[in-house]
Each structure stands twice: as structure tokens, then as C-alpha cells.
Amino acid sequence: MLYYSLNHQSPKVNFAEAAVKGQAPDKGLYFPEYIPTLPKGFIENIKTYSKEAIGFTIMQPYVGENIDKNELQRIVTETINFKFPLVRITENIASLELFHGPTLAFKDVGARFMSRCLGYFNRNNKKEVTVLVATSGDTGGAVANGFLGVEGVNVVILYPSKKVSPVQELQLTTLGKNITALEVNGTFDDCQAMVKQAFADTDLNNKLSLTSANSINVARWLPQQLYYFFAYQQWQQNEAPIICVPSGNFGNICAGIVAHISGLPVKHFIAACNANDVVPNYLQTEQYTPKPAVATISNAMDVGNPSNFIRIMQLFNNQFNALKNKLSSVSIDDATTKTTIETVYKNYQYILDPHGAVAYKALEDYLKNDVGQRPTSASGFILETAHPVKFPETVEEVIHQKIAIPESVQYLFNLEKKSITMQPKFEDLKEWLMRR
């Protein structure tokens, strides 16, 4: 398997090179030459497979010969060594809970897979790799945890000051060792722009071996397919599910679409967005117009120019009608998000986080509005991408009770936050990196 740049100005590379570089020299995102087809009988027999067998089968074609099969099996096993339950909320809506990993967020899967791949690729390299990543919330914690202590890898995380939740901030600022947090006085888009400029800067690239741990990196993006298969393994209905994904940078739903193209049965995808409505507007008007990010209570989705949407377009060969037939996208405002959290808790005793609430409302509306076009048994699931404890101010306000802090993160509250404050200027980031 080779990977090409979506800007089409750089040579094709293998998985190892794509993972280490993160982004192509022409600043394009790497994309696989083809989407592998699932083995014959895989879907029909999926309930008989272990999670580890599913993970290895899905990832092996993308990795190819770049990782020894025994090593890939180890990497996959360590990546997914927690549960991924599909929990029924209503008769027609279930929740795929992706918050049972070490940092209580779906990004644990991609971060753990990527960190282990980079550790393997860098095992004989004397030059340290610097992982540079921007986060709107959960990416930072997942990357910090995944790479903590990985030999030969330093991690630098940029996050927007006062725009991540307390637990999120503690997860990315308290680990120390090879993890450094830069607290930027700006938005996530500012952080992401600074990171992109760093990868384009000749001086920095001559001095440092830079790579990205955002979902632009194939080693973080592609393994997100796995939990879609885990969900289908638990799916009880005869009809294929409608899948609703809370979407910010669009890497997660893009991975789901890859899984579908490879053979996973999915009736329809819904990209549930908050007030950052670039993609919903595009699907209505066919005009793609990035905007500055707007701050919301579902902060991990506060992205005004989603990097991975170009990959989604590529999956549909840039054919607008083909894309629109398989993908819907809607914008849910903060007031509706809060009401949804409150209503679902009151009626079903299920606690949604703000991102899951955006997805729940989008799926609920889709099922109600389009039920005349499909059997009344139509149903689907949302991706519950983070534990509600990460958003205590919002969730506790509307359900009128405290959320118990999981044991796995209680220790964070005894640790000291350590971050370096920075203005949203690339020149400041470059000067700091050059001095390291």
C-alpha cells in the first residue's frame, strides 16, 4: 500500500514514511492508493471474531510490510485493550461509548496506535522525532497519554487557553517527561494554523524531525475505523445502521466512511456539527466557505475549516451528488444541545456529553423527518466520543447532579498544571522550537 498527496505534487510513500512525515512535502494530506476490500465472509461472520482479529484484519493492508505481523498484532492489541459497548438509549437510538480508554475519549484509539507505530519506526533512529499537535480538547490528552515515555519522541501540544475543559487541560498539562503543553491565547484554528506553518517552514524542518499527531496523520486517522466494526459486531437489527458522528475536524466520520467503502454495512452517515456549520452549509449550497471557529459548549468540534473534509470528498471522487446521497450534515446550537442532555437524562437516565448530545439530536431529527422514506424500524447509533465528566459545568447544570469522576482520572486533580503561554503567532512558536 502506497500513499499519495491530495495536492498531487509529492512522490508516493509507504505507510511508515506517511506516518513519520505526517503531511506531504507539498502540504497535502496523504491518502491511500486504494481502499482495501474486506475478506470474503468477514461481515457475515463478524460476531465470531475477537476485537484483536478484527483490528489486525482491517489495519494490515494499510500497513503492508512496514511492520512485522507479530509487531502489528501487539500494536493492535495494546491499542484496543478496553471496551467499546453499544448501549441502547431508545428503541431506535443506541450509543457507541468510546470513552472507556485511558483519557476517556475516542481519540485514545488513534493516539495509541500512532504512538506505537512511531516508536517502532524510530527504534533504530538516533535522531529524536518531535510530534507537533494542535488540540481543541481531547486530542491533546490522548496524544500525551499515548506517547508518554516513548523513547526518541518528544510531544509538543498547542491548545487554546480557556477553551478546553478542566479535565481535558489536566490531561495534557500534567504529565511532564517528554510532553510539553503550549497554552495559546487564541482559538483552535489559531493553533492548527501555527502547526501547519511549522510543517511548511524550512528552518524548522532542517533542524527537527517533525511529524503531526492530528487526524491528518494516516496512523491516527485510519485506525478509527476499528470501532465502527466493533459497533456492527454488536448491532442486533436486520437493517444496516444509520450512523451519526459528532464532527469537528471530520477525521472520525471520514474513517467511518472508509470502513463503509471497504464493506461495512451502513445505511447513511450524519455529520452532526455545532455552530461551526461549514459542512452543513456546503451540503445545502455546494459552496465550501471556511469561517473563523465559533466557541461552543461542544468545544472539541469548534473547527471552522475541517482538515479532513478534503479526504471525504476524495472518497466520493469529488462528486457532490454521490457524497450527498450517503452523507447528511446539520448544525445544532448550544441551547438545543443543553435541552437534549436534559431530556435524554430525564426520559432515559442516560447522560450525554455535549458532543454526544449534538449527535443524538441530529439522529433523532433525521429519523423523525425521514421516517416516511424508509421502514419504521429504521434505527441507528451515535458515537459518544467523550465521557460527560470532561464537561461538568454544562452537564451538571442541566441534569442537576454531580457527575462521578472515574477512578482512572482522579489522580489528575492532585497534579500541578505545567504549560507555556504563547501568543497565536507562528513566529513565537518557531523561535521557541528553534531554541529547544
Indicate if the pLDDT at residue 371 is higher than 60: no
Active-site annotation holder among 21, 51, 107, 361: 107
Secondary structure of the chain: what % helix, strand, coil (to 5)?
45, 15, 40
pLDDT band at 377 (very low <50, low <70, confident <90, very high): low
Residue carrying C-alpha cell 451502513: 266
107 in catalytic set? yes
pLDDT band at 38 (very low <50, low <70, confident <90, very high): very high
Residue 197, Cβ density class (10 Å: 0-12 exposed, 13-18 middle, ≥19 buried): middle
User: What is residue 276's predicted lDDT score, i.e. its pLDDT?
Assistant: 96
For residues 97-107, average pLDDT: 94
Q: Where are the domains of the chain?
A: 82-105+221-405
Nearest-angstrom CA–CA distance, 276 and 248: 8
Query: Is the domain defined by 82-105+221-405 classed in CATH 1.20.1260.10?
Result: no
Indicate if the pLDDT at residue 374 is higher than 60: no
β-pair partners for 153: 129
| pLDDT, averaged across the chain | 93
Dihedral Cα 292, 191, 303, 220, nearest 10 deg:
160
User: What is residue 370's predicted lDDT score, i.e. its pLDDT?
Assistant: 61
